[in-house]
Amino acid sequence: MESTHAHTGDPNTRHSVVRSTRRRLAAFAAFTTAVAVAIVLTGCGPQIASDSSAPVNKNLLQAPTAASPKGTITIWDRSGDLFNVFDATIKKFNEKYPNIKVDHQAIDIDAKLQNTLTTGTDVPDGVFLDDSLVAGYSQSLWNLSSVLKPYLGKVAKQKVGVNTIKGGIYGVPFDLDPGLLFYNNTVLKKDGIDPTTIKTYDDLLAAARKVKAADPSSGPIHLENVPFLAQLWLEMFASQQGTSMADASGKLRLDSPAYKQILTWLNTVQKENLGTRADYLGPTDINTLDSGKQVFVPWAIWWDFAPQQLLKKTTGDWRAMPLPTWTAGGAQSGAMGGSSFVIPKDAKNPGLAWLFYKFLMYDKNGYTAVYGPNSVYPKGLNTSIPSYEPAADAKKPLFGTVDALGGQDLWTTAITAGNQIPAGTPTPKWWASAVTYLGSNIEKMLDGTMTPDQVIQQSSQEIQTNLIDRQ
């Protein structure tokens, strides 16, 4: 979900990266909660329905057949660095499609999209949308199964999964956001820890204990203090094990060995004082990262903007590796966030919008323009990787080495991790509202007032009763 990325390539947004991250998270949570309330109370909104109850959307988009298609398309993206990245690709797109004019607009999508689709007024032809919102909007979007068919075999299964609702595919997959283990290499060297020996999460605990022994004032492993991000983080660990809060039909599956294992591990970190509990990249988080007190951050690839933009004393000390495994031979990464491009049913030129997105994601000139060196990211966009296999070639990096990671070849590391992410399922429309229960209960566990079993049982009951049963 792009709303959590807080990309910082745009000079106009670097100074407010943390503030904008929190604002986007709050807007997303408020938006999805408001949508759920509107449906329950009034039946209004853009026919946002649960995965299991919604009728199949049979509006299959077909690609234009004209030899030289022409027209104007309105494309909505969020303001900031990605808007500028996509904007810079339009010139390349027009070299291939000179008769298609792109009206590229910076929009507060979370605030505006729902009302726009409801009224049918000034509906854009294409929209940048968080993966977690695609399922909820699917009844107002074109089913892209036909146009995507030639590419699906080479798109990351996790991205196909989150965009698939009852057999239809409603988003053109954009980024893949693999989880990685970021670590302070300087501290590990000082404490005699070889990062290559961290194979499992038990190994990570052992390494953290060694760091703690060397510096009792440290809290080596990051622990999230914001309920929304705690829940999103939990889903990264769950994705790594091939599961998620709900299955493809929207049925809750939180009560499982996988979630118990993850929560027990997090609880161990807090009980043994092996963690730093802090708001994501808030003052405490940054200070402990920069002082060498916080050493391990298992997080999505987009954490890499922290050493690039926010950390001053330890920039250059950090490295990234695939996540440890939960079991021997298990997957070394899970997905955390992500975005796609959607095309509203009421768009004036949906076929032309498809040509634009096809160019960006599946044309070499397009995806190179997105991820390669540009005026926004001189060495290339490195806060995610492409979800399309030909673009995500480990031997043909689209972005360069990362100086803030000691000149590391992050491309190869991230591609290796991304290739291991298990297939995903669509995010249910109640996901953000579940933060009130699951996200908050995770924080209570980290406070020491709930056990992992209590988090699972109470959250499952609350989500089922207050969210799922009321749909």
Based on the domain organization, do 121 and 266 belong to the same domain? Answer: no
Partners of residue 299 on adjacent β-strands: 180
In whole angstroms, give the CA distance from residue 291 to residue 312. Answer: 10
Task: Give a yes or no: residue 406 inside a domain.
Answer: no
Beta pairing, strands 164-165 & 168-169:
antiparallel
Of 176, 160, 148, 164, nearest to 57 by C-alpha is 164
Q: How far is CA 444 from CA 270, 282, 300, in A?
A: 11, 20, 23
* Residue 150 Rama label (left phi>0; alpha psi -120 to 50; beta): alpha
Q: Is the pTM of this model over 0.85?
A: yes
Of 414, 177, 184, 195, nearest to 319 by C-alpha is 184
Residue ranges making up the domain that contains 15? 2-176+338-370
Based on the domain organization, do 32 and 155 belong to the same domain? Answer: yes
Based on the domain organization, do 251 and 321 belong to the same domain? Answer: yes
Based on the domain organization, do 79 and 205 belong to the same domain? Answer: no
Based on the domain organization, do 226 and 362 belong to the same domain? Answer: no
Based on the domain organization, do 167 and 189 belong to the same domain? Answer: no
Based on the domain organization, do 265 and 361 belong to the same domain? Answer: no
In whole angstroms, give the CA distance from residue 427 to residue 429. Answer: 6
Within 143-295, strands assigned E span 164-165, 168-169, 172-173, 175-176, 179-184, 221-224, 275-278
Of 450, 446, 451, nearest to 270 by C-alpha is 446
Residues 6+ apart with CB under 8 A from 172: 144, 148, 340, 341, 342, 343, 354, 357, 358, 361
Cβ pair 33, 433 in contact under 8 A: yes
Task: Give a yes or no: residue 71 inside a domain.
Answer: yes
Residues 6+ apart with CB under 8 A from 78: 2, 3, 106, 107, 108, 109, 128
* Residue 142 Rama label (left phi>0; alpha psi -120 to 50; beta): beta
Q: How many domains does the chain have?
A: 2
Based on the domain organization, do 213 and 120 belong to the same domain? Answer: no
Give φ, ψ of 129 to 5 degrees: -140, 140
Please, is 244 exposed, middle or buried when counting C-beta atoms within 10 Å of its C-beta (0-12, 13-18, 19+)?
buried
Task: Give a yes or no: residue 386 inside a domain.
Answer: no
Task: Give a yes or no: residue 414 inside a domain.
Answer: no
> Residue 154 is part of a domain; what is its CATH number?
3.40.190.10
Cβ pair 354, 343 in contact under 8 A: yes
pLDDT in tens, the chain (471 residues): 333 443 333 333 333 334 344 444 444 444 343 333 333 322 333 333 334 344 455 689 999 999 999 999 999 999 999 999 999 999 999 999 999 999 999 999 999 999 999 999 999 999 999 998 998 899 999 999 999 999 999 999 999 999 998 889 999 999 999 999 999 999 999 999 999 999 999 999 999 999 999 999 999 999 999 999 999 999 999 999 999 999 988 899 999 999 999 999 999 999 999 999 999 999 999 999 999 999 999 999 999 999 999 999 999 999 999 999 999 899 999 999 999 999 999 999 999 999 999 999 999 999 999 999 988 899 999 999 999 999 999 999 999 999 999 999 999 999 999 999 999 888 888 998 999 999 999 999 999 999 999 999 999 999 999 999 987
Based on the domain organization, do 103 and 193 belong to the same domain? Answer: no
Where helices occur in 120-255 by DSSP H, the ranges are: 131-137, 145-148, 157-162, 185-190, 201-214, 227-240
Based on the domain organization, do 48 and 162 belong to the same domain? Answer: yes
What kind and span of H or E run contains 299? strand 296-300
In whole angstroms, give the CA distance from residue 165 to residue 408. Answer: 38
Task: Give a yes or no: residue 447 inside a domain.
Answer: yes
State the pLDDT at residue 57: 56
Count of H-run helices and E-run strands, the chain: 17, 14
> What type of residue is 252?
L
Beta pairing, strands 126-130 & 100-106:
unpaired
Task: Give a yes or no: residue 201 inside a domain.
Answer: yes
Based on the domain organization, do 107 and 194 belong to the same domain? Answer: no
Task: Give a yes or no: residue 419 inside a domain.
Answer: no
Task: Give a yes or no: residue 388 inside a domain.
Answer: no
Of 443, 444, 436, nearest to 462 by C-alpha is 436
Based on the domain organization, do 227 and 348 belong to the same domain? Answer: no
